[in-house]
């Protein structure tokens, strides 16, 4: 039986492990009231919720959930409750008086009753890529996980959205209960903001979650491609010595050009400065640089100065293929391109041409079009290109933060509390 938190850590843990059950002690509802409730509740599902009410009239806000068989027990409290171990020794835990539920106008679920982590009725979260077992503890006692099977999507209150599925009107119309789409990432180009607004669905994202891991991956790609690690590894594997003429780039004293100066790019800038690099940036949405020592200049001025150009812009109509034959031609001869943002920012045919002509010395790409690239794609298997399969945010800690922030955002919206909602304009869009 799933119940609200009682403010007792031990009781909460035991409830989450289904090692205890809840029983009433003291004042009880009248038999007639229970009979009427039984008629309302009817069938039960495997994951019931517990609604607290001190009179039958309070059941009204939950009538929809009752008819959908999502409410299993309605308690005519507040009454003293004692928790009894259901398995093993009959150990008694302390009694806790359940508080009256609080509700806010226009909010589907009232705020939590005891410790700001639970909802009076456990909401259903649809994970479009499934919820990995490694992160299942993030929803225990807080929500019911369903998905990725679409047969469960119609009863979802919130969707935890990865980056592959397109969330637009064709999907949103099949989710009558959906109130929020919460991205497990900083980008939200796979969610139609217009369609979500028309459906009354809030869209959230996790701008802080991937910052550290993506910045580290950007630096890793920059080091790997400028030091020609694939070539050196291949020579070592073949039993060959290093080349007599060294061509790798020494980063100390080199210039890094950042396109976009948001959270991730700011951290990349600090790491690059620690390596002795001069860092310059172009960001049309900033009037002054948020990073000490990083100057803001125009794109035309930056491209011929940078030994390495790193992309940190969002996928927008205005940024699609912003790295094309024209901008590549304006880049410094022998420079490098790194992209851990979005694949659509780069015209890959133009990039291949610049590499083949020797105008660019190399490229490090975590994002491509499509993802992953098919076997035999001309960008794969080159000595001057390193491609990783969109894993920049994929450290153990980083991936957990993505799910944690996405889940927290979804539950906050359902409670009517502040969440990381996507910006209403692109002014905050740089990553």
> So which residues are the catalytic ones?
342, 371, 390
- How far apart are alpha carbons 146 and 47 in whole angstroms? 11
Give dist(CA 384, CA 226) in Å, integer: 9
Residue 134 token pair: 């490694």
Contacts 24+ apart (CB under 8 A), 88-91: 88/19
For residues 272-303, one letter each, b for 16 or more C-beta atoms within 10 angstroms of the residue's C-beta and e for the rest, the string is: bbebebbbbbbbbeeeebebeebebeeeeebb
Calpha distance 342→370 (Å, rounded) = 11
| Closest-CA residue to 203 (of 241, 238, 240, 171) | 171
Q: How far apart are CA 329 and CA 44, in angstroms?
A: 66
Please state, in angstroms and rounded to a whole number, the distance separating the CA atoms of residues 256 and 272: 8
Q: What is the DSSP letter of 210?
A: T
Angle between helices 211-226 and 396-415 (to 10 degrees): 150
| CA–CA dist 165, 190 (Å, integer) | 7
Tokens of 175: 């989710």
Structure tokens at 61: 């806000």
Both tokens assigned to 296: 């803001």
Contact partners, residue 161, CB within 8 Å, separation at least 6 = 128, 167, 181, 182, 183, 184, 190, 191, 406
Element (H, E) at 280: strand 278-282
């Amino acid at each position: 039986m799933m119940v609200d938190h009682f403010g007792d850590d031990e009781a909460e843990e035991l409830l989450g492990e289904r090692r205890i059950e809840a029983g009433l002690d003291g004042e009880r509802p009248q038999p007639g009231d229970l009979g009427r409730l039984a008629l309302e509740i009817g069938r039960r599902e495997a994951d019931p919720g517990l609604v607290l009410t001190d009179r039958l009239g309070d059941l009204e806000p939950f009538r929809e959930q009752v008819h959908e068989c999502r409410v299993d027990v309605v308690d005519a409290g507040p009454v003293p409750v004692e928790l009894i171990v259901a398995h093993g020794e009959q150990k008694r835990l302390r009694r806790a008086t359940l508080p009256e539920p609080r509700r806010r106008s226009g909010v589907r679920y009232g705020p939590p009753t005891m410790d700001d982590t639970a909802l009076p009725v456990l909401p259903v979260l649809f994970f479009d890529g499934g919820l990995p077992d490694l992160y299942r503890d993030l929803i225990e006692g807080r929500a019911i996980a369903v998905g990725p099977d679409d047969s469960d999507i119609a009863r979802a209150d919130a969707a935890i959205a990865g980056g592959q599925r397109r969330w637009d009107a064709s999907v949103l119309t099949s989710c009558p209960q959906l109130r929020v789409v919460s991205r497990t990432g900083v980008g939200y180009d796979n969610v139609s903001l217009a369609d979500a607004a028309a459906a009354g669905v809030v869209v959230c994202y996790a701008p802080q979650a991937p910052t550290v891991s993506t910045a580290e991956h950007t630096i890793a790609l920059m080091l790997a491609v400028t030091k020609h690690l694939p070539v050196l590894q291949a020579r070592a594997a073949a039993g060959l010595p290093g080349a007599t003429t060294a061509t790798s780039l020494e980063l100390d004293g080199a210039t890094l050009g950042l396109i976009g100066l948001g959270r991730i790019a700011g951290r990349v800038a600090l790491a690059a400065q620690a390596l002795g690099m001069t860092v310059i940036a172009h960001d049309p949405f900033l009037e002054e640089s948020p990073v000490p020592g990083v100057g803001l200049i125009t794109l035309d001025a930056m491209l011929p100065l940078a030994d390495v150009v790193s992309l940190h812009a969002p996928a927008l109509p205005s940024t699609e293929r912003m790295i094309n034959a024209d901008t590549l031609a304006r880049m410094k001869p022998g420079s490098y391109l790194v992209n851990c943002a979005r694949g659509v920012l780069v015209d890959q045919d133009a990039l291949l041409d610049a590499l083949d002509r020797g105008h660019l010395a190399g490229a490090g790409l975590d994002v491509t079009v499509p993802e992953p690239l098919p076997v035999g794609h001309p960008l794969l298997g080159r000595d001057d290109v390193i491609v990783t399969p969109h894993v920049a945010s994929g450290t153990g800690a980083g991936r957990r933060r993505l799910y944690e922030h996405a889940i927290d955002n979804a539950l906050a919206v359902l409670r009517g509390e502040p969440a990381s909602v996507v910006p209403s304009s692109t002014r905050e869009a740089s990553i």
